[in-house]
């Protein structure tokens, strides 16, 4: 009987039990994490649904000049050699490529979700040098100059708002959907541009205007020997992405403007080749993403990752109160408080879908602190201890909020914070005789 009483009042046994309860609460935290992922996936489905009807992420690749030529494939059958004529394409990229555009964002809603789409007006111009087949070792007699085509790669054709007229030297050509060859781009518009053979012209100038809808991201493939891109938009939160960052940019509350200059030396493919292109053309694309500044699901996911720390620190305070004030706390009471801490994340997730994340965090944390301190008051029956517990919870939630705001310094601040907490606990418990200490009430 005496041994049972000692075990019941053993501080070591109680600490082990509290640690076990902390680990046990990882189960509801994991379930909440799964719920966050499900809600995020639902948001992404809504974004895809709107984007599929308006226009998805766009990457403009072109124009590209493709000139067909004859090739001959020999085969031997019944001791006879036959040559079969086939058509292949040589592809040439522009010497200069200039793009000037404006991007006009729009916010659309699908249910409770905000989705950013855009329409853009792009002016594309530049020049091609006369195709040089000597480097490709193709005989002049096999080149089909009159069947040359100019193509422009556009991933989502639903985004095209108006007809596209290509100004090629002194002539105009209406670009048509589809392309004769998918060597370079899989989707886009093209036009047949008959060329003069034998290098009759040194260069060809071109220009066209493109009104293009899209969602989230607009990018450009740097196909020119020198590619210059200038973009402007009233969207105040751009994220410049892709293979190249802008050479200059200006971002403020009224929008952004950015300029890129990319040379053919900066990418890993030539100005002319035969046959299919490599994926480096897509990999070299650059541009801008119209970013929604507050991603509530990303921040909620990060906050859940700090859940084990929040529960452990709260339980540690309860355990120290038990030791120093002989206020016995039943494991069921630990679990109830732990579940209240878990419900905080459900409140945060649900509220952040309707209001700004910062306000959602404030409301959820205040509700949780009031719930726990009100419950603790009935357990401790001591106003001072209740006030201390409420203050500690407020500090913990405030500390986690700071970690969420300073993402780049979260590891540093979190490490320092945990070190300080450990130092305080070691200082407070420095004189405890753990072998002789028990939790029996006086």
**Residue pLDDT, tens place only, 23-66:** 887 888 888 888 888 887 887 777 777 777 777 888 888 798 88
Question: Are 142 and 69 spatial neighbours (Cβ–Cβ below 8 Å)?
Answer: yes
Question: Predicted confidence band at 376 (pLDDT cuts at 50, 70, 90)?
Answer: confident
Would you state the structure tokens that stand for residue 155, as one six-digit string?
């991933």
Token pair 């030396």 is at which residue?
A: 265
Q: Higher pLDDT residue, 440 or 97?
A: 97
Strand-pairing partners, residue 3, are none
If you average pLDDT over residues 302-320, what whole number do you get? Answer: 79
Torsion angle, CA of 289/295/298/302, rounded to 10 degrees? 130
For 402-425, the pLDDT digits (tens) are 877 776 666 777 677 777 777 877
Using CA atoms, how far apart are residues 221 and 164, in angstroms rounded to an integer? 19
| Domain locations in the chain as residue ranges | 2-42+297-428, 57-292
Distance (Å, whole) CA 196 – CA 130 = 9
Query: Distance between CA 59 and CA 186 in Å, rounded?
Result: 12
3-7, 35-39, 87-91: least confident range: 3-7
Task: Give the pLDDT score at 81.
Answer: 65
CB 210 within 8 A of CB 103: no
The more confidently predicted of residues 64 and 298 is: 64
**139 CA to centre of own chain:** 49
What is the reported pLDDT for 442? 45
What is the rounded CA–CA span in Å between residue 296 and residue 304? 12
The average pLDDT across 143-155 equals 85
| Average pLDDT rounded to a whole number, residues 361-387 | 83
Closest CA relative to residue 307, chosen from 12, 35, 13, 9:
35
Residue 1 has what pLDDT? 45
Number of Cα atoms under 13 Å in the Cβ half of residue 425: 17
């Amino acid at each position: 009987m005496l041994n049972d009483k000692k075990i019941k009042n053993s501080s070591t046994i109680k600490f082990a039990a509290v640690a076990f309860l902390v680990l046990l609460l990882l189960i509801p935290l994991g379930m909440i994490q799964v719920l966050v992922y499900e809600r995020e996936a639902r948001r992404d489905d809504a974004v895809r649904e709107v984007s599929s009807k308006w226009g998805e992420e766009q990457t403009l690749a072109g124009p590209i000049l493709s000139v067909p030529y004859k090739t001959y494939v020999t085969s031997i059958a019944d001791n006879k050699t036959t040559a079969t004529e086939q058509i292949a394409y040589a592809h040439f990229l522009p010497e200069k490529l200039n793009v000037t555009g404006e991007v006009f964002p729009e916010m659309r809603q699908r249910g409770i979700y905000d989705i950013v789409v855009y329409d853009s007006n792009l002016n594309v111009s530049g020049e091609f040098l006369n195709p040089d087949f000597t480097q490709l070792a193709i005989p002049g007699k096999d080149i089909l100059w009159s069947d040359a085509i100019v193509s422009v790669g556009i991933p989502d054709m639903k985004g095209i708002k108006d007809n596209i007229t290509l100004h090629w030297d002194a002539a105009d050509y209406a670009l048509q959907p589809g392309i004769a060859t998918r060597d370079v781009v899989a989707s886009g518009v093209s036009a047949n541009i008959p060329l003069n053979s034998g290098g009759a012209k040194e260069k060809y100038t071109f220009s066209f205007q493109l009104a293009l809808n899209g969602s989230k991201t607009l990018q450009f493939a740097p196909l020119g020997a020198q590619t210059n891109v200038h973009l402007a938009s009233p969207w105040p939160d751009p994220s410049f992405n892709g293979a190249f960052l802008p050479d200059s940019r200006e971002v403020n509350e009224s929008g952004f403007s950015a300029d890129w200059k990319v040379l053919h030396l900066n990418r890993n493919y030539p100005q002319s080749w035969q046959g299919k292109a490599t994926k480096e053309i897509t990999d070299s694309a650059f541009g801008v993403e119209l970013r929604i500044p507050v991603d509530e699901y990303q921040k909620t996911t990060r906050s859940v990752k700090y859940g084990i720390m929040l529960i452990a620190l709260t339980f540690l305070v309860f355990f120290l109160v038990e030791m120093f004030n002989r206020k016995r706390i039943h494991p069921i009471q630990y679990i109830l408080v732990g579940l209240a801490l878990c419900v905080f994340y459900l409140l945060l997730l649900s509220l952040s879908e309707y209001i700004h994340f910062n306000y959602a965090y404030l409301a959820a944390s205040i509700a949780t602190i009031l719930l726990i301190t009100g419950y603790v008051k009935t357990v401790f029956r001591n106003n001072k201890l209740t006030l201390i517990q409420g203050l500690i919870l407020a500090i913990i939630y405030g500390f986690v909020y700071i970690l969420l705001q300073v993402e780049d310094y979260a590891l540093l601040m979190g490490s320092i914070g945990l070190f300080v907490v450990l130092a305080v606990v070691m200082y407070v418990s420095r004189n405890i005789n753990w072998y002789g200490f028990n939790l029996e009430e006086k």
